Chain A
Amino acid sequence: MTNLPFREPSLPRLRPLRAALAAVAVACTVAACSPVSEGGGGTGSGGNQSAGQDSFGTPADPATVRDGGNLVIALSAEPDALDPTLSRSLYSRYVFQAMCQKLYDVDEKAQVVPQLATALPTTSSDGKSVTIPLRENVRFADGTQFDSAAVKATIERHLSNARSARKSELGPVAGVDTPDARTVVIRLQQPFAPLVGALADRAGMIMSPKALKTLGDDFASAPVCVGPFKFAKRVPQNSIEVVRDPNFYDASKVHLDGITWRILSDASIRAANLRSGDAQVADSVSTQDVGALQQDSALTVLQSQSLGYQGLTFNIGNVDGVGAAPKTIDRPIAQNAKIRQAFEHAIDRKALVQAVFNGIHAEACSPISPASPFSSPEAQNCPTHDPAKAKQLLTEAGVKTPYPVTILASNTPDTLRLVQALQAMVKEGGFDLKINPVEYSSLLDEQDRGNFELLQLGWSGRIDPDANITNFVGTRASQNVAGYSNPQLDDLLTQARQTSDIEERKKLYGQAVTLLQQDDALIYLYRQRNLTAFSNKIQGLQVFPDGVIRAAFAGFTK
């Protein structure tokens, strides 16, 4: 993959950054060019698509959109604190998208594009210094000037706040320099490819230093950033409202007077609100409802493959809790990789996705999307569905069949249907799967403590592949709930994180996937699609591969 999917062809030759940017490019791939399902794939720019095809929506046409109106978006879960430093919920990103612009953004092909920066960053030859040029004449919603000092204040807050959710994303950032008001230089302790991916997410959202000074830890009570809209009101557990910001540098592109996110956790209620016109947009449409909504000529359904995955995790060494040194667990399935491989051979992913999700989600066998520039035949190698082989492996492992396994899973209807289908499936391969459904918060607790044999959970995905792998399988990594440790894998992942060469990263990730499939501590099952439905009275609504609903430049049709 020699052609990097970035808009600026004449980048200075600054190697780590290229790697970082290339990392970001994965997403392109994931969504824009990904023929994941048979005969499907490709992109669509709008309109209703059949299952398996991506459609991201199109920008609003100024000639056919009227100014004014309040857009209501039915949201499936409540965002947490509206503070870019503290926010941990994916849903907060939907709200931030309208009121907190970032240094960089991703477009529908998941290419990194400048937002508050004027160009892609340049990196020094040793890879330890990243320079970012900033926009001029930009003001925060409180009227104060946006400049390099604001960027410095924001990044330093990300790094120093005790509850910061951004610190780990910023990796080895050592400090920030501001040679002038329009230039920011980020110093790194070592080259760090995933940095730009982070700056195209919440770590790159710049907060008003004045508001930070006044509000401190209460910034979320009245957040102030640069954005098309500014914060107006929040009714806890119910709604969040933003109104048009006259200070925004590109205010002429904004059509709506305001946006309201209304939290409606039930998918059928969201669909009903969409149909009744009480909401114009609904996120996380259920795969069960997609067909009916696509039939409705007044509605459009956007869909794109997510960057994450859903999988099964075996507990093979988590005794003292996540992050602690792995210990031996006295269970054959924890000690013998053959039994876990047998389990994987017993799974028919295609049938599973078809039966449970109407074929809308895509099969997945590794954390790397098939269309990624980092993908390789090794990374896409998929253990076949072979119940006979599963039984043979169980015999080789010397265990009695049916081999009993208990799976811990969330008690949501979708997950239950998934694990019930799995239960029927693996029986043929010689497994007796028992289901232990628990409520989500309890599930998180049990998984971190290591109180499980097998569990079903997923990851929403990030634009850099490192963020989708290392934290989950690296030795003692913060989310390695399997208690898995393979020093050879750790080496590969560290090299991939630091190298600038895409071919090299590709090769390293291919080797990593081979190791992952040999050890089978984590079995990847499928990749979700982001499903968003909206009324045809709205134009310009877009959902890119990062899954964020982009409504800031949408408008009502004239």
Chain B
Amino acid sequence: MARYLITRAWQSALTLLLSTIVVFLGVRALPGDPALALAGEDRSPEALEAIRHHYGLDQPLPLQFVRYVGRAAQGDFGESIRTGIPVSSMLTTALPVTVELAILAILLAAALGVGAGVLAAVRRGHPAEWLANGLALVGLSVPHFWLALLAILYLSVATGLFPASGFVPLLDNPVDNLHHLILPAVILGTGLAAIIMRQTRSAMLDSLSSDYVRTAKAKGLRPRAVITHHALRNSLIVVVTIVGLQLGGLISGAVVTEQIFGLPGFGKMTIDAVFQRDYPVIQAVVLLTATAYIVINFLVDLLYSVIDPRIRVTGDPA
């Protein structure tokens, strides 16, 4: 186990370094100049030069990279070219919003998806299965942004049930916080819920027809216990993998959801930074996302062994 951890750790570090290089060069390969984007209408060659000089954009690329990595290692991602605000402080404000939104979306999606999946598998051939399948199809096919616009139109503008935009930090007012986040979280979670539902259903169908479930039934266990303790527990391995893999999709979904609901999160920050060629912000955001991916994948691998003791993680991943 220790050997495996060490192997994974250096692999992760290498991936991180590579992604840093790719991002650093990638943002600079984009057409467009941050100095121009910042200068807006009032631009003169002197002003552009001064902006480039201030942000070190007039330095040779290798030097810019070394400085960037050196500072990033100490948690200093520079300051936003657009607003002049330190990127680390922007991240501190934006991250909790997206993390909370993502957790809420995952919880809602898992509750809905697992529930509907189990129901569809247990009640196979019944209207409940058709309904669950139908909902999953809708959840997968309808684009987030359209659903979000509909939700705003009917649940905010027409009925006033939920706010159409804005955010209240959790610690300021937990009730208001939930009130603002529930609609975006539901919208964000729909696609994931559909995927979880379909995976749970097929995994449950497999489990329900397997020998150990038949044995459990033969022992005289109640159907509820057979489903929850035996069939579902095994099926959840697949679900956990799916949730891990779908987190990326959730983050890209958050970009759109946050933009529409005006949430001050990571996604909105990313998209605005890209449009404004705000190099320090884009770099920090991508670096952090890459780190999150690596950590999540690692945790998912570890979770396997917790859920299913038969899986023994060894030093040899093959």
Contacts and interface: CB of A to CB of B under 8 A. Distances in A.
Interface of A: 72, 74, 78, 80-81, 83, 86, 88-90, 162-165, 167-169, 217-218, 220-221, 234-239, 262-266, 268-269, 272-273, 275-279, 322-323, 438-442, 444-446, 448, 459-460, 478-479
B83 interface: yes
Contacts of A279: 165
B82 A266 contact: no
Contact of B31 (A80, A217, A265, A445): A445
B40 A89 contact: yes
B272 A272 contact: no
A498 B73 CA distance: 55
Contacts of B259: 265-266
A268 B149 CA distance: 9
Given A162-B53, A445-B31, A269 B41 contact: no
B85 A269 contact: no
A273 B163 CA distance: 8
Contacts of B165: 74, 262, 264, 269, 273, 278-279
B167 A238 contact: yes
B156 A278 contact: yes
B220 interface: no
A163 B160 contact: no
A235 B262 contact: no
18 contacts: A164-B47, A165-B39, A236-B94, A238-B263, A238-B264, A262-B262, A264-B262, A269-B149, A272-B149, A272-B164, A276-B157, A276-B164, A322-B45, A441-B33, A441-B275, A445-B33, A445-B36, A459-B41
Given A88-B42, A276-B160, A278-B156, A269 B31 contact: no
For A90, A236, A265, A323, which residue has the most chain B Cβ atoms within 10 angstroms?
A: A236
B88 to A, nearest CB: 11
Contacts of B273: 237
B277 interface: yes
A279 B165 CA distance: 9
Interface size range of chain B in the complex: 35 or more
A88 B83 contact: no
Contacts of A90: 40-41
A231 B18 CA distance: 42
B32 A444 contact: yes
B266 to A, nearest CB: 10
B51 interface: yes
Interface in B45-67: 45-47, 50-51, 53-54
Contacts of B33: 441, 444-445, 448
Contacts of B305: none
B85 A163 contact: no
Contacts of A167: 46-47
A148 B264 CA distance: 40
A168 B45 CA distance: 11
Interface in B261-318: 262-264, 268-269, 272-273, 275-277
A479 B44 CA distance: 7
Interface in B169-217: none
Nearest to B264: A238
Contact of B277 (A81, A238, A264, A441): A441
A165 B47 contact: yes
Given A163-B54, A165-B47, A237-B273, 11 more contacts: A83-B84, A220-B83, A236-B90, A238-B167, A238-B264, A265-B259, A272-B164, A278-B166, A441-B275, A478-B43, A479-B43
B33 to A, nearest CB: 5
For B43, B272, B275, which residue has the most chain A Cβ atoms within 10 angstroms?
A: B43
Interface in B204-244: none
Q: Which 4 A-B pairs have the closest CB atoms?
A: A238-B264, A441-B32, A478-B44, A442-B31
Given A236-B83, A238-B167, A272 B36 contact: no
Given A237-B268, A278-B163, A278-B164, A78 B85 contact: no
A442 B29 CA distance: 11
Interface in B79-116: 80, 82-85, 89-90, 93-94
